[in-house]
Amino acid sequence: MLKPTHIRLLFLGFLSLSASSSFALVPEWNVYRDVFLDGGCPRIIKELGSIKVTSPGPHGDFWSKSMLLVGKCLLKEQQPVKAKKFFLLSSKGAYPDAALYHLTQANLEAGEKSKALENIAQLLKEPKHEFYLARVHTLLRENFISEDEKEMLFRFLSKQRENPKLLLKDAVLHQIFMTQSDKMHQPVAKELRLLGWMYPEDVESAKMAHKAIWPTDFQDLSHDQIKLRVRKLQKLNLHQYLGNHLPILAEGRDAKLRRWL
């Protein structure tokens, strides 16, 4: 009986030569997952990086994960340009969302910020994009720092018309968006202006958003919008700030909302 090591070598040898046969012996994926977790990137790059197949084929799941894992290892070894090749291949396979996220990382590490934004736009169209939202927020916050980069980011955020809330619920991204819109004299719809007020992330962003809210927007707030802010502040454990804030929210509101507050 073939040992697991022999099976893996047979499979890798087969993939390096041909994509046509369906008789390859597919190794257990957890073998390479464990190698990766143990820091065995040189082995992964050597063994999985030698696969010559450039499309999913009959063993698409293993192939997709292999291309993804090689790319992640190359990123770890600070080779983003080489990593991009494998993420692009993996994006054709079973996990395009994961491939696009890591391709974005490679773009940013290679200094390709415009291309990174293109790939984020593509990722947001994937069915499983919500799994990556928090990490995408972090990538954007950490990699678009200069004024030129913030202007680039503003133009990108302005194009996310299908569901702008995906990115603008992040307090820092919303602040960048609003600041740039003021600088560029670009009008912002009320629905987007209020996102920063409804979704603060700490006491500073809560105070800043309330200070910046238009008086007319504040007067027109719905019960649901006010309740959303209150629940967000409670979730953040900003009880002292909320205690001082509630009378402001209650002023001029109807009896039903005042009782809720």
- Per-residue pLDDT tens for 49-93? 888 766 666 567 888 899 999 999 999 999 999 999 999 999 988
Q: Are residues 155 and 248 in the same domain?
A: yes
pLDDT over 70 (residue 99): yes
**Residue 89's domain spans which residues?**
1-143
Which pLDDT belongs to residue 252?
92
DSSP code of 27?
P
**Mean pLDDT along residues 194-213:** 96
The residue out of 96, 124, 143 marking a domain boundary is 143
**pTM for the model:** 0.84
Q: Are residues 220 and 108 in the same domain?
A: no
Which amino acid appears at position 73 of this protein?
C
155 and 135 share one domain:
no
pLDDT at residue number 228: 97
Please check whether residue 124 is in contact with residue 163, taking contact to mean a CB–CB distance below 8 angstroms: yes
1: pLDDT strictly greater than 50: no
Same domain for 124 and 174: no
pLDDT tier at 161, thresholds 50, 70, 90? confident
pLDDT higher at 25 or 174: 174
Together in a domain, 180 and 212:
yes
Residues 6+ positions from 4 with CB-CB distance below 8 Å: 27, 28, 31
Q: Let me know whether 124 and 157 are in one domain.
A: no
Q: What is d(CA 254, CA 201) in angstroms, rounded to the nearest whole number? A: 28
Same domain for 27 and 103?
yes
Task: Please give the average per-residue pLDDT across 230-250, as a whole number.
Answer: 96
Which helix (H) or strand (E) is 159 found in, with range? Answer: none
- Note whether 29 and 131 are same-domain residues: yes
Q: What is the mean pLDDT of the chain?
A: 88
Mean pLDDT of 222-242: 97
- Whether 75 and 137 map to the same domain: the answer is yes
- Please tell me the total count of domains within the chain: 2
Alpha-carbon dihedral angle through residues 121, 124, 126, 130, given to the nearest 10 degrees: 160
Task: Out of 143, 177, 200, pick the residue that ends a domain.
Answer: 143
Residues 154-169: what's their mean pLDDT?
89
**161/186 Cα distance (integer angstroms):** 15
Contact 66, 32 (CB under 8 A): yes
Same domain, 154 and 137: no
Domain match, 173 and 123 both: no
| pLDDT greater than 60 at residue 8 | no
Both 163 and 228 in one domain: the answer is yes
| pLDDT at position 7 over 60 | no
Tell me: pLDDT of 234 over 70.
yes
pLDDT above 70: residue 148: yes
- Report the sign of the C-alpha dihedral through residues 67, 70, 76, 80, in that order: negative
Looking at 105, 123, 143, the residue that finishes a domain is 143
When pLDDT is averaged across residues 27-45 and rounded to a whole number, the result is 86
